Amino acid sequence: MSRASTATRKATKGEFIETDSGNKVWRRAHISGAPNITLGGKTVIQADVQLRGDLARVQPPRSQGDGKAAPVNHSISIGRCTIVSAGSVIKPPHRVSKREVDGRAVKEVHYYPMKISDNVFIGPNCTIQAANIGQHVHIGEGCVLQALCVVKENVKILPYTVVPPNMTIPSNSVVGGRPARIVGELGDGWGMTTGSAGGDNEGWVEGGDLRELVRAIR
Amino acid sequence: MAQSFPYTYYRCPCVDTSTPTSAVAPPNLPSDPSSAPVEQDEEEGHTFDPLSPRANFSLFPLEHLLYCTECHEIRCPRCTMEEIISYYCPNCLFEAGSSSVKEHGNRCIRNCFNCPTCTAPLSVNAMEMERSNGSDTGSSASEQSHQYFLSCPYCNWSSLEIDMDFKSPQNIYHQFTKFYRSQPDLESKPSQVSPTEAMETPTQATTPVQQPPTPTAHPTDQEHYARLTAFLRTQISDTDTNSYNDINFSSPSSITRLMHLYNPSSKKAALQKPALMREAQKQNEGLVVQDLERDQKRIQEIRFRGWDGTISLSQRSQQQHPRNIHFDTDLRPVPTLLICKRSKRCRTCRSVLFRPESKPTSTRFKIKLLALEKIPRLSLRALNAATVPAALITSVPSSSPLITAAQGFDYNALKPLKPTLFLLTLSNPLEDPVKVTLATPGVSKTAAGVESKVTILCPQFEVGANTDVWDEALNPSTRDKEREREAKRRSALLTLSSGSAESMAEAQAGVRQAEAGKIWSSGRNWTSVIVEVVPNPTIDPSAKSRSSKGRGNEDDDVLEIPVFVRMEYEADAHGDGDARLDDSTSSARRRGEKEKLEEAFWCVFGVGRVVGL
């Protein structure tokens, strides 16, 4: 595990920076609050992706004499071999709560940490506010995953789907529509390759191991 | 079409009615190389037509197919039996016992509800804020402030719209059913005329006679069901005197009774007709009388409320009790339907092909026999398309929105009369090298009748075994082979570029002449050959007339190529090669007990759309 912003191996003037653990982060990606973001390695963050690490949970302020630095709030953690395609927005989920302060109703926005697991493919121009995305999930183009939805392992989200807040998508399902509903089941062989990274044919399938695809991105 | 081009579908043979699954002999008889499936296909004497209406039901992506190792056949969802292992709620992922499933009708009995208007999951909210604002004077604020309601975060529907609230945020389903039962049918309130009377005196219906509402007038669904079942039960017991339900097969008297059924001597007894069951005739027997006045009222209400007040068919069908639901105020939250985990069995030999773990959250499985592990994966792509999706190379997001569609080649615009070269790659999942023969009908049509010439330049080739990745690197002979292949590929590329530089098409034509009968490239367990497709604008008149009959739809111009794949290989006689020992011993053993196997199937490549001239 390494921080996204640190440990660049070489300052080549390529389009992206490859970190020690193999993360490929485009220079044109908009990353805010980098200390709150963890990338698992071999993960691709493409151009014009917004990673909103600054929207972290606000910790209660510590007393001055503590001597410690402010605790790290993990707001976005992304696993290995995950690809975030161009133009997507990754934003920690939030919840609006109402509280009474001095007899007046005050709206408060709480941000929660989000976790994206390994081998997740996020298509171009998505907006992701999920609480949790499991392994081997394929998210099509232009999807919106609204706040605090949970996507389990092995799920395919069809392009232009809007997943409503708080929805749980169970494993092995295909979801689509606005709002999203389960429209089908994945085949039992979802994400399985034919045991090879066959030469010049693509060594990856939707929902499978994305390592080959990450390697192919240059 | 949901899938983007190019796609590959595999045909499951079970659809073939001439060879029902049960009748298909195990094809891999060890001695005869030209055994069952090929022969059968040849006997039928016709090629597979992806345009036939039946084809839809037999084509599947490879991931959806299983493989029965007993029958040595592909198994599709049609020819597998499913057994339910466990039920669980898709929302809260809690398993439901089968008894609770029976009792509550396949619904989640926890706190999971779906929005009746948009199907999004509802969330439980407390209305503390609203109440505390208005409760400055109210003394009952303390008890009211703990009320909860369901609301949809997607479309902002809330259960307060139908005056439904809950005392506690737990066990909502229980409170919901209570609420549902306690509330009288909405329709029984406005119309107080008993429907029988309304029918007898239709003229007086406009001036309602004040009467105490008869409790039987508009029964709820539960009441109606209870009455009808009670009535039918008495009917069955009254009429069905000689029922065969209580037959005890061990007793000789009942056996003789049964035998009398078939015995012609007992004609007299058979002629004696049993008393007929009659229909329900009274309301307490479960008869529901058409209430004209109520219908009139509803029509009035539709006029009053307009289109927005009525509900759609899908909303109505989603409701738990869809009878008498017409307006958006009748909609109730829908308890989430359960889903289940299923195991799959072969219909022919009953062996288990797929069995997941029963835990809802687990994605593991106990048995999984996939077609992916036995059937080669065939894939098609345009020769000049990039390997890596363009969406990932470019840094400009707008230029290439779709990862799979835009790869530098537009599959949605195949030009007529222009030869387009495709690369057909076959990768072998087996641990033995495979000899492959491909065949295609020379002409394939789109639904609109555009014929295309399809030529596989190298229909016969070999594909290497799916051995360990390191075998290849360590074994010098394979490495040499690989080098040779690489050189071949280079030369092929050279010929490609050395052709006429003016037009790509001519260059490709040059390659075609040079490479006919040769593979394009190959690797450890995959081989690529070239397929040439020439869309021809001649329209088949029969297809045209068919499409002009109003059948024309958006997928008429999709070109699908059927390809027959036959593969031969030698495998270990025992076991399907899963007991691999180390190289020397296993190869020695194999030499002794080799078995010739073969596999044959149709598959269909969706190449793209043919555009007009």
Residue B102 pLDDT greater than 50, yes or no = yes
Q: Which residue of B has its CA nearest to A15?
A: B395
Residue A202 pLDDT greater than 60, yes or no = no
Residue A56 pLDDT greater than 60, yes or no = yes
Mean local confidence (pLDDT), A133-153: 93
Beta-carbon count within 10 A of A216 CB: 18
Q: Is the Cα torsion angle B70, B74, B76, B79 positive or negative in sign?
A: negative
Residue B192 pLDDT greater than 50, yes or no = no
Q: Choose the closest CB to A98 out of B91, B129, B388.
A: B129
B25 vs B418, more confident: B418
A93 vs B29, more confident: A93
Q: How far is A61 from chain B (nearest CA, A)?
A: 28
Q: Choose the closest CB to B524 out of A98, A171, A196.
A: A196
> Left (φ > 0), alpha (ψ -120 to 50) or beta: where does B135 sit?
alpha
pLDDT at B458: 86
pLDDT at B217: 57
What radius of gyration, in Å, describes the C-alpha atoms of chain A? 19
- Indicate yes or no: CB of A189 within 8 angstroms of CB of B133: no
Q: Is the CB of residue B368 less than 8 Å away from at least one CB of chain A?
A: yes
Q: Which residue of B has its CA nearest to A123?
A: B403
**If you search the block for the tokens 């087996």, which residue do you land on?**
B430
* Cα distances (angstroms) measured from residue B318 to each of A170, B143, B160, B323, B541: 20, 34, 20, 11, 45
pLDDT at A146: 93
Q: How far is B121 from chain A (nearest CA, A)?
A: 6
Q: Is the CB of residue B524 less than 8 Å away from at least one CB of chain A?
A: yes
Most trustworthy range by pLDDT among B177-181, B469-473, B599-603: B599-603
Q: Note the Cα B197 to chain centre separation in Å.
A: 51
Residue B248 pLDDT greater than 70, yes or no = no
For residue A82, give the 3-state DSSP assignment. coil
* Cα distances (angstroms) measured from residue B603 to each of B49, B59, B163, B569, B592: 10, 8, 57, 19, 34
User: Which residues are within 8 A (CB) of B407 and not within 5 positions of it... i.e. 6 or more apart?
Assistant: B381, B382, B385, B386, B389, B390
B216 vs B126, more confident: B126
pLDDT at B126: 84
Distance from C-alpha of A121 to C-alpha of A139, rounded to nearest angstrom: 6
- Indicate yes or no: CB of A198 within 8 angstroms of CB of B524: yes
Instruction: Check if CATH label 2.160.10.10 holds for domain A2-58+71-216.
Output: yes
Residue B103 pLDDT greater than 70, yes or no = yes
B61: chain A residues, CB-CB within 8 Å: 187
Lowest mean pLDDT among A126-135, A151-160, B317-326, B568-577: B568-577
Query: SS3 string of B45-56?
Result: CCCCCCCCHHHH
Q: Is the CB of residue B360 less than 8 Å away from at least one CB of chain A?
A: yes
- Residue A37, class by beta-carbon neighbours within 10 Å (0-12 exposed, 13-18 middle, 19+ buried)? buried
pLDDT at A127: 95
**In chain B, which among 312-341 make CB contacts under 8 A with chain A?**
339
pLDDT band, very low/low/confident/very high, at A152 (cuts 50, 70, 90)? very high
A48: chain B residues, CB-CB within 8 Å: 395, 397
pLDDT band, very low/low/confident/very high, at B271 (cuts 50, 70, 90)? low
For residue A184, the surrounding DSSP H or E stretch is strand A181-185
Most trustworthy range by pLDDT among A134-138, B252-256, B400-404, B448-452: A134-138
Residues B400 and B391: beta-carbon distance below 8 Å: yes
B403: chain A residues, CB-CB within 8 Å: 85, 123-124, 141
Distance from C-alpha of A151 to C-alpha of A76, rounded to nearest angstrom: 15
- Indicate yes or no: CB of B521 within 8 angstroms of CB of A159: no
Percentage of chain B lying above the pLDDT 70 cut = 62
Q: Is the CB of residue B527 less than 8 Å away from at least one CB of chain A?
A: no
Q: Choose the closest CB to A179 out of B120, B132, B427.
A: B120
pLDDT at B287: 81
Q: Which of B12, B337, B387, B392 to mutate to test the interface with A (most CBs of A within 10 A)?
A: B392
Residue B28 pLDDT greater than 70, yes or no = no
Mean local confidence (pLDDT), B11-33: 53
The torsion defined by the Cα of A37, A38, A44 and A48, in degrees rounded to 10, comes to 0
pLDDT band, very low/low/confident/very high, at B308 (cuts 50, 70, 90)? confident
A124: chain B residues, CB-CB within 8 Å: 391, 397, 401, 403
B155: chain A residues, CB-CB within 8 Å: 179
Mean local confidence (pLDDT), A207-218: 82
User: Cis omega before residue B562 (within 30°)?
Assistant: no
Q: Choose the closest CB to B387 out of A87, A105, A216.
A: A216
Q: Choose the closest CB to B377 out of A15, A159, A194.
A: A194
Mean local confidence (pLDDT), B74-86: 90
> Left (φ > 0), alpha (ψ -120 to 50) or beta: where does B408 sit?
left
Q: How far is A105 from chain B (nearest CA, A)?
A: 8
Q: How far is A142 from chain B (nearest CA, A)?
A: 9
Q: How far is A218 from chain B (nearest CA, A)?
A: 7
Residue B164 pLDDT greater than 90, yes or no = no
> Average pLDDT over chain B, rounded to whole?
72
Distance from C-alpha of B153 to C-alpha of A94, rounded to nearest angstrom: 13
Distance from C-alpha of B233 to C-alpha of B223, rounded to nearest angstrom: 15
Q: Choose the closest CB to B120 out of A142, A164, A187.
A: A164
Residue B211 pLDDT greater than 80, yes or no = no
A142: chain B residues, CB-CB within 8 Å: 401
> Left (φ > 0), alpha (ψ -120 to 50) or beta: where does B163 sit?
left
B122 vs B253, more confident: B122
Distance from C-alpha of B370 to C-alpha of B350, rounded to nearest angstrom: 16
pLDDT at B579: 42
Q: How many CB pairs under 8 A join A and B?
A: 172
Q: How far is B438 from chain A (nearest CA, A)?
A: 19
pLDDT band, very low/low/confident/very high, at B44 (cuts 50, 70, 90)? low
Residue B404 pLDDT greater than 90, yes or no = no
Q: How does pLDDT run across B451-478, given as a tens digit for each residue?
A: 888 888 888 888 888 776 666 566 655 5
pLDDT at B258: 74
Lowest mean pLDDT among B259-263, B381-385, B392-396: B392-396
For residue B25, give the 3-state DSSP assignment. coil
pLDDT at B37: 44
Residue B525 pLDDT greater than 50, yes or no = yes
> Left (φ > 0), alpha (ψ -120 to 50) or beta: where does B119 sit?
left
Residue A24 pLDDT greater than 80, yes or no = yes
Most trustworthy range by pLDDT among B206-210, B338-342, B521-525: B338-342
For residue B251, give the 3-state DSSP assignment. coil
Percentage of chain B lying above the pLDDT 90 cut = 10
pLDDT band, very low/low/confident/very high, at A63 (cuts 50, 70, 90)? low
- Indicate yes or no: CB of A187 within 8 angstroms of CB of B521: no
Q: How far is A89 from chain B (nearest CA, A)?
A: 13
Q: Is the CB of residue B169 less than 8 Å away from at least one CB of chain A?
A: no
- Indicate yes or no: CB of A199 within 8 angstroms of CB of B66: no
Q: How far is B386 from chain A (nearest CA, A)?
A: 10
Q: Is the CB of residue B387 less than 8 Å away from at least one CB of chain A?
A: yes
A49: chain B residues, CB-CB within 8 Å: none
The torsion defined by the Cα of A53, A156, A212 and B604, in degrees rounded to 10, comes to -160
Q: How far is B558 from chain A (nearest CA, A)?
A: 21
B427, B397, B10, A43: which is closest to B389 by C-alpha? B397
Q: How does pLDDT run across B117-156, given as a tens digit for each residue?
A: 999 999 998 876 554 444 444 444 444 555 889 999 999 9
Mean local confidence (pLDDT), A98-127: 88
List, in sequence order, every residue forming a beta bridge with B600; answer none if it has no partner.
Answer: B566
Residues A55 and A91: beta-carbon distance below 8 Å: yes
- Indicate yes or no: CB of A125 within 8 angstroms of CB of B397: yes
pLDDT at B306: 87
- Indicate yes or no: CB of A189 within 8 angstroms of CB of B62: yes
**If you search the block for the tokens 């998210």, which residue do you land on?**
A139
Q: Is the CB of residue B456 less than 8 Å away from at least one CB of chain A?
A: no
* Strands laid side by side in the B365-368 sheet: B95-96, B80-88, B339-346, B352-356, B365-368
Distance from C-alpha of B69 to C-alpha of B371, rounded to nearest angstrom: 10
Lookup: tokens for B137: 């004077």
Q: Is the CB of residue B377 less than 8 Å away from at least one CB of chain A?
A: yes
Mean local confidence (pLDDT), B540-566: 67
Q: Choose the closest CB to B370 out of A166, A189, A217.
A: A189
Q: Where exactly are the structural domains of chain B?
A: 376-609
Q: Is the CB of residue B65 less than 8 Å away from at least one CB of chain A?
A: yes
Mean local confidence (pLDDT), B164-181: 85
Residue A183 pLDDT greater than 80, yes or no = yes
Q: Choose the closest CB to A188 out of B368, B466, B526.
A: B368
Q: How far is B304 from chain A (nearest CA, A)?
A: 29
β-pairing verdict for A94-101 and B334-335 = unpaired
> Average pLDDT over chain A, rounded to whole?
84
Q: Choose the closest CB to A154 out of B363, B403, B523.
A: B363
